[in-house]
């Protein structure tokens, strides 16, 4: 059995009814990751290179608008399909897979909440990755408490004027399209609206590229809005709907990041098996040591459990199940914690080699660490789950 066949079979776990088309999608995406991402991932991380040309190659396979309806240039796929795509991509590079997950969240939000003119204006470019997208919710003083954001959008005739700062924005400076959450009304979530800002809009600028522990193959910068004047037709949905739009976008985004954690960790596990098969100690292969085999078994079991939860949440989101937000939070928390833990144990199994950058394991560990923070910290995921459990007894 080849490594690629083994990975395709692994991605099929957690879903008993994957179709032939879904299995083919996983295989094609794994082939892409193996050819276009994995060979360059360490160098991109070292050089802090954002491979826009490779993103466009991914888009040529339909991965720039995974959830966008076909009539608007997308692939029209569901959330289960998306978890297959992003897990497969992350086997090659979690950083690039993570950015593509965010880009697809932006495209979905415009497709879902935009009008026909907005969809015609932005979706063709986003689906082709000729235009890149960024999601702007977090602020320097409003991370987990997203409803407390301070960025303002003041109505001025047929325009809005946006002022504020967004923090930790993936793709910032390179992306051409920014979905920005800004306050048009009073305090709390009901006062937030959503807007599309373009990179060339006057008054929009960017902070320095952040120096990060991981995710170095994509830029992360502040987005600075200094009186950015945009036409009123750049608003997505009605005034006051922005927080709901943002949260609905995050339900899918959390599944994407969860899947990226699975892919990165699965790659680390496969590399560990190969490493232990090649290494000997005390006259025997390390792979034949029962203690190490038990570690591998635990890692595989935990990933399979996380994958099943991610697929369950994806199915719930596709069916508009009322429990979908809670299940997405569960899946994001469990899969990102599990993915990081598995990758960290894979580094340990590599011994000193795992600590060397050229082997790529320490990069996976660094990349997966941030997944426990972004798209809502795992502490906030626990808040969401606990709220669902206790609503009946309030």
Active site residues: 375
d(CA 1, CA 234): 52
CA 329, 151, 241, 104 torsion-angle sign:
negative
d(CA 388, CA 331): 14
Beta strand pairing call for 235-236 and 159-170: unpaired
d(CA 102, CA 90): 13
Beta strand pairing call for 192-198 and 235-236: antiparallel
Widest pairwise Cα distance in the chain:
80
Whose CA is closest to 268, among 169, 192, 366, 384? 366
Instruction: Give the position of tokens 């079979």.
Output: 9
User: Any idea what DSSP says for residue 254?
Assistant: H
The neighbouring-strand residues paired with 32 are none
Tokens representing residue 303 in the block: 């990933």
Instruction: Give the position of tokens 């306050």.
Output: 183
User: Are 90 and 259 contacting, i.e. CB atoms less than 8 angstroms apart?
Assistant: yes
User: Any idea what DSSP says for residue 208?
Assistant: P
Q: Centre a 10 Å sphere on the Cβ of residue 189 and count the other Cβ atoms it contains.
A: 16
Q: What residues contact residue 378 under an 8 Å CB cut-off, 6+ apart? A: 332, 333, 336, 337, 372
């Amino acid at each position: 059995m080849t490594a690629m066949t083994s990975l395709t079979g692994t991605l099929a776990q957690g879903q008993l009814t994957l179709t032939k088309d879904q299995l083919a999608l996983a295989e094609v995406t794994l082939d892409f990751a193996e050819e276009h991402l994995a060979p360059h991932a360490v160098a991109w991380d070292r050089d802090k290179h954002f491979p826009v040309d490779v993103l466009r190659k991914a888009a040529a396979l339909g991965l720039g608008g995974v959830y966008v309806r076909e009539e608007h240039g997308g692939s029209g796929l569901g959330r289960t399909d998306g978890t297959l795509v992003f897990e497969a991509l992350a086997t090659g590079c979690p950083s690039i897979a993570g950015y593509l997950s965010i880009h697809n969240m932006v495209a979905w939000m415009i497709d879902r909440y935009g009008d026909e003119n907005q969809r015609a204006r932005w979706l063709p470019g986003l689906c082709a990755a000729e235009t890149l997208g960024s999601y702007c919710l977090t602020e320097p003083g409003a991370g987990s408490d997203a409803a407390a954001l301070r960025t303002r959008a003041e109505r001025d005739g047929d325009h809005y004027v946006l002022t504020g700062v967004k923090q930790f924005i993936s793709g910032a400076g390179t992306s051409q399209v920014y979905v920005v959450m800004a306050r048009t009304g009073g305090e709390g979530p009901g006062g937030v609206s959503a807007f599309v800002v373009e990179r060339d809009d006057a008054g929009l600028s960017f902070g320095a590229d952040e120096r990060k522990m991981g995710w170095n193959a994509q830029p992360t910068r502040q987005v600075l809005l200094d009186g950015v004047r945009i036409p009123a037709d750049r608003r997505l949905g009605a005034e006051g709907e922005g927080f709901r739009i943002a949260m609905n976008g995050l339900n899918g985004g959390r599944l994407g990041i969860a899947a990226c954690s699975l892919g990165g960790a699965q790659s680390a596990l496969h590399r560990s098996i190969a490493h232990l098969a090649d290494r000997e100690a005390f006259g025997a292969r390390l792979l034949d040591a029962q203690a190490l085999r038990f570690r591998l078994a635990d890692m595989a079991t935990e990933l399979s459990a996380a994958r099943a939860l991610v697929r369950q949440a994806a199915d719930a989101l596709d069916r508009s199940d009322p429990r979908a937000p809670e299940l997405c939070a569960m899946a994001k928390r469990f899969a990102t914690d599990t993915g990081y833990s598995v990758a960290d144990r894979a580094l340990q199994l590599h011994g000193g080699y795992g600590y060397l950058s050229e082997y790529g394991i320490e990069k996976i560990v660094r990349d997966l660490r941030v997944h426990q923070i972004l798209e809502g910290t795992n502490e906030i995921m626990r808040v969401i789950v606990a709220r669902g459990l206790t609503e009946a007894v309030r």
